[in-house]
Structure 1
């Protein structure tokens, strides 16, 4: 059975997390992803600690199912090779700052003249225009500017940093996947590619959709840790348990809240679910109740209830949870590359009934596919040897 993106060829210039996760998702569904890496040093993400056999453990989490070509784009011969590759590919993913590829003479305006069907996706922090266009940034910066960080944490003290890279992944990786798929769909109608401008700041702002609605609907700025979905109400809250662990209650709907209250013998709270003035006292009382049992005892206690109640798990516990196992969302590669260490990788989150994605746990060595791919576009072995001698590849 063929995968939906078989036949689609992608040149991946990205590094670290946002772009590599994007292209890994596309690779899982059949796209041929060719990582373009700097000779000798490779993509920067290969060198992030912790290392397994000299290579980043994190590199393996976002670079399966790919090929690797080493290429120095600062040299004329490297630019020529890249142009020949782009002439025969469908997508280029560029994660450099705006204008970098243009300055090297291999940006979108040049490449589209070579291949009018080319889809060129620019994944940047702040986008291709605006006063911050050329500004450096990281996940924390995008979330802070978007207003997400201000809404993260409790109502005592400073804003908190997210435990995951939301801007990088949700606003960057996933929106880039969407952009590329939309451009591919458009190309089916027009026969032409286009430029995709994906900014992690832009995507982060769209993740605030409900929060923005809460703001203009109420006429007041949301207060960190004090709103309906941020900890200000007892029905949607995190509680500490007897064993210093935590559970989360998401009983937003009335029926869930009523069942929860009845289960803990607090029927009087059923009619004051959204009474703001009473929340502090209710939260304090329920907190004391939850402290009477361990986390797992509470999970068992509520196991037959319909109230949206879950334990707060750490990484190791998450990997062992029966729901995660049932969905094939975690794979462990034991004694990876004879390193004595296990590598834990995520599965394919999108389940298609007819053309399901396939996570092949094959990872490219730096430059592993350079010779084969260059031969496929017409370079001879002698030419390749010369390119390697001159450090072009």
Structure 2
């Protein structure tokens, strides 16, 4: 039995944070009903590239769910949804604060018909505070929480992150965690809960070390000068002779000693008292003398915490990934099987051989709203 079997989730969210959260709940056994607007549905459906009628993004994030179409601004929308709302265990929404209240679908309205409801609101800046209704995206959250400011390229400008950390690690994953905690509390007390999940709030955990520096009086971190921002030769990215890169993180002395010995770094640069920039330059010269493949062979089997920077395609095809069966789960889209998005859910909580599909827009409207 999957642990969330028998639970009903109504998901009013779009794009990434809410849909990823409800995907994890669905994989753990919950019945997820995606509530979409008429005509267009979730904006993610229209993105490129397409797999069949919908985007690859949409089918990756919405497999195993049902879809109902309803105009939430219609006068009878709340009444039509009431039978589902009355028996739902969880509601997920990520509108701007106040929108669901105006639609008659806010927590206070719904708790009167369903006191055990767990209602999760995912937003950028939370339900209260001066920024609560400010429009933003992932890059903005990272910019305004100091995360982006700690990254710097060669020219000193912040580096554009390739991952949507705020949406995933600041929104979707905290939403799931708090929903599960609320379910546990409901088991003990019978009470529902309102959950205010703010992506901006949750990004600060990523900078725990910088906060420790600042709050302790040791000084606020500066990009390019700290342990994990480029201030040490023991945590750097070095260019190889063939234009690839080595990610070197031999932080502890035992790894650093192995690393410097293997690359034959001159002794004056191995001591802890050596000037960091001079050491970085010396290591760069040594690493730049060989190709990525040569360094990979040299470091193979050694305790040095060094990795060649690979492409996403290379990473997907890594033998370790295959051995872990990370892409063993499949989804069906466009008439073919595709690897499903790996999600952080232990294998014991999901079906091993599942083949799931993303819902066509409004496929379950008649069955769920008009029957």
Could you tell me the TM-score, scaled by structure 1's length? 0.89
Note closer, same or farther for the CA distance 1:171–1:79 as it changes in structure 2 (3 Å cut).
same
**How many residues were matched structurally?**
370
Note closer, same or farther for the CA distance 1:269–1:194 as it changes in structure 2 (3 Å cut).
farther
Note closer, same or farther for the CA distance 1:118–1:334 as it changes in structure 2 (3 Å cut).
closer
Task: Tell me the alpha carbon deviations over residues 330-355 of structure 1, each in whole angstroms, 9 at most, x when there is no partner.
Answer: 3597995248xx85542243325x43
Report the Cα distance in structure 1 between the residues aligned to 2:327 and 2:240, rounded to whole angstroms: 27
Q: Does the aligned pair in 2 maintain the 1:351–1:357 contact within 8 Å?
A: no
Q: Which residue of 2 aligns with 1:249?
A: 248
Q: Which residue of 1 aligns with 2:293?
A: 296
Q: Which residue of 1 aligns with 2:113?
A: 114
Q: Does the aligned pair in 1 maintain the 2:50–2:56 contact within 8 Å?
A: yes
Q: Which secondary structure state, in structure 2, belongs to the residue aligned with residue 92 of structure 1?
A: strand
CA RMSD of aligned residues (A): 2.1
Q: Which residue of 1 aligns with 2:211?
A: 212
Q: Which residue of 2 aligns with 1:7?
A: 6
Report the Cα distance in structure 1 between the residues aligned to 2:235 and 2:206, rounded to whole angstroms: 19
Q: Offset of 1:154 from its aligned partner?
A: 3.3
| 1:349 partnered with 2:348 | no
Q: Does the aligned pair in 2 maintain the 1:123–1:200 contact within 8 Å?
A: yes
Q: Offset of 1:66 from its aligned partner?
A: 1.0
Q: Which secondary structure state, in structure 1, belongs to the residue aligned with residue 349 of structure 2?
A: coil
Matches within 5 A, 1:314-353: 314-330=311-327, 336-338=333-335, 343-352=338-347
| 1:87 partnered with 2:86 | yes
4+ residue segments displaced more than 6 Å: 332-335
Report the Cα distance in structure 2 between the residues aligned to 1:153 and 1:343, rounded to whole angstroms: 37
Note closer, same or farther for the CA distance 1:290–1:344 as it changes in structure 2 (3 Å cut).
farther
Note closer, same or farther for the CA distance 1:348–1:131 as it changes in structure 2 (3 Å cut).
closer
| 1:178 partnered with 2:184 | no
| 1:136 partnered with 2:135 | yes
Note closer, same or farther for the CA distance 1:262–1:325 as it changes in structure 2 (3 Å cut).
same
Task: Tell me the alpha carbon deviations over residues 269-326 of structure 1, each in whole angstroms, 9 at most, x when there is no partner.
Answer: 68534x4x61111111111111122212211110110111111111111110112222
Unaligned runs of 5+ in 2: none
Report the Cα distance in structure 2 between the residues aligned to 1:130 and 1:364, rounded to whole angstroms: 37
Q: Which residue of 2 aligns with 1:225?
A: 224
Q: Does the aligned pair in 1 maintain the 2:265–2:282 contact within 8 Å?
A: no
Task: Tell me the alpha carbon deviations over residues 113-141 of structure 1, each in whole angstroms, 9 at most, x when there is no partner.
Answer: 00000000000011010011111111111
Matches within 5 A, 1:1-393: 2-154=1-153, 156-217=155-216, 219-266=218-265, 268=267, 272-273=271-272, 275=273, 278-330=275-327, 336-338=333-335, 343-352=338-347, 354-356=348-350, 360-374=355-369, 379-380=370-371
Unaligned runs of 5+ in 1: 381-393
Report the Cα distance in structure 2 between the residues aligned to 1:224 and 1:26, rounded to whole angstroms: 38
Q: Which secondary structure state, in structure 2, belongs to the residue aligned with residue 238 of structure 1?
A: strand
Indicate the larger mover: 258-267 or 141-150.
258-267
Note closer, same or farther for the CA distance 1:334–1:244 as it changes in structure 2 (3 Å cut).
farther
Note closer, same or farther for the CA distance 1:345–1:243 as it changes in structure 2 (3 Å cut).
farther
Q: Does the aligned pair in 2 maintain the 1:154–1:224 contact within 8 Å?
A: no
Report the Cα distance in structure 1 between the residues aligned to 2:245 and 2:285, rounded to whole angstroms: 13
Task: Tell me the alpha carbon deviations over residues 22-66 of structure 1, each in whole angstroms, 9 at most, x when there is no partner.
Answer: 111111111111100112211111112222334212112211111
Q: Does the aligned pair in 2 maintain the 1:331–1:346 contact within 8 Å?
A: no
Q: Offset of 1:267 from its aligned partner?
A: 6.4
Q: Does the aligned pair in 2 maintain the 1:261–1:269 contact within 8 Å?
A: no
Q: Offset of 1:204 from its aligned partner?
A: 0.8
Q: Which secondary structure state, in structure 2, belongs to the residue aligned with residue 69 of structure 1?
A: strand
